[in-house]
Amino acid sequence: MRLELPDCVLFHQAGLSFPESGGAHRLRFDPGSADGRIESVRAWFRDQGRKEFLWWVGPSATPPDLEARLLGHGAQPWRDGVIASMLTEQPPPKVPAIDVRRVETYEDFLVAREIAWAVAGFTAEQEAEYRATQRAKWDSRVKARDAAAYLAYVDGEHVGSADMLFLPFAGFLSGASTLPEYRGRGVYRALIRARWDDAVRRGTPALIVGAGAMSQPILERIGFRIVAEQHLLLDRSA
C-alpha cells in the first residue's frame, strides 16, 4: 500500500513485519504542526497493524529540525543510521571471472531471494514471511516489466544475487548479496556491471543506489559519487 499525502508519502507492505517494509518518505511537515503530523503518521501505521516502520529524513525534509523532533518522540537511528544516495554515469569495470545472468524463471527468482535471506541472517520465521509473498512479486514483475533480478555464478554455482528497478532516467540498484565464502572475488562488482549493461540497453546509461556503510567505499572506488544522504530512524511507537 502506498499513500501519497501533500506533506509525506507512506508505504506499507502487508504481510511483512520487518521495519524496512514500512516507511514514511518525502517528509514536508509544516513547523507549526510537525509534532501532530508525527503522531498522525504513527497512528496510520498502527491502523495497518504495523509495529515498526522507518522514517526517511532527507536533506529536503522539513522542518529543518525534524530529525531531532523524531528522536525526541522516541525514534532511534536504524542500523548505520545513514543511507547515501549515489550515482554513476560511467561504466563500472568488467569482472571477467564472474558469470552473471538475468533471472528468467520463478525458480531462479526464488534462488536469488534465498541467497539474500541467507546473507541477511533471516530467521526461519522471517524467511517464511517473505517466501509467502514471492509468487505474487514475480507475477507482478513479469506483467509490469519494471524490474529484474540477477544471479552471479562461480564454477557453475550461484554465489550472489541482485535486483534493479527500471526508472525512466536510470537503473535503481535495489539490493545485492554475496555468500560470505565468495566475498573479495569481485561478485558484487560483477553484479553492478551486469545491471549497468542492462541500463545501457534500455537507453538509460546511469545507475543510482542507496548505499550503506559497507557498500559505499566499494561504489566510490568504481566511480559512484554521493549526491545526497538520508537519515533512517526506527519507530516502534506501536
Q: pLDDT (tens digit, 9 = 90+) per residue, 121-177?
A: 999 999 999 999 999 999 999 999 999 999 999 999 999 999 999 999 999 999 899
Three-point CA angle 175, 87, 219, nearest 5°: 60
Question: Whole-angstrom Cα distance, residue 220 to residue 226?
Answer: 8
Q: What is the pLDDT of residue 214?
A: 87
State the average pLDDT for the chain. 96
Output the 3-class SS for 151-200. EEEECCEEEEEEEEEECCCCEEEEEEEECHHHCCCCHHHHHHHHHHHHHH
pTM of the model: 0.88
- pLDDT at position 205 is 98
Assess contact for 7 and 115: CB atoms under 8 A. Answer: no
pLDDT given for residue 145 in this prediction = 94
Asked if the 90-205 domain carries CATH number 3.30.70.360, the reply is: no
pLDDT-derived band at 80 (thresholds 50, 70, 90) equals confident
- The x, y and z cell numbers of residue 30, run together, are 509544516
Q: What are the tens digits of pLDDT across the range 178-211? A: 999 999 999 999 999 999 999 999 999 999 999 9
**Burial of 40: CB neighbours in 10 Å, binned 0-12, 13-18, 19+:** middle
The residue extents of the domains of the chain are: 2-81+230-235, 90-205
124-144 vs 106-120: helix crossing angle, rounded to 10:
140
Res 35 pLDDT > 90: yes
- Whether residue 238 has pLDDT greater than 80: no
161 burial level (CB within 10 Å; 0-12, 13-18, 19+): buried
Whether pLDDT at 106 is above 90: yes
Residue 116 pLDDT more than 80?
A: yes
Per-residue confidence (pLDDT) for residue 17, from 0 to 100: 86
> d(Cα 132, Cα 56) in Å, to the nearest integer?
27
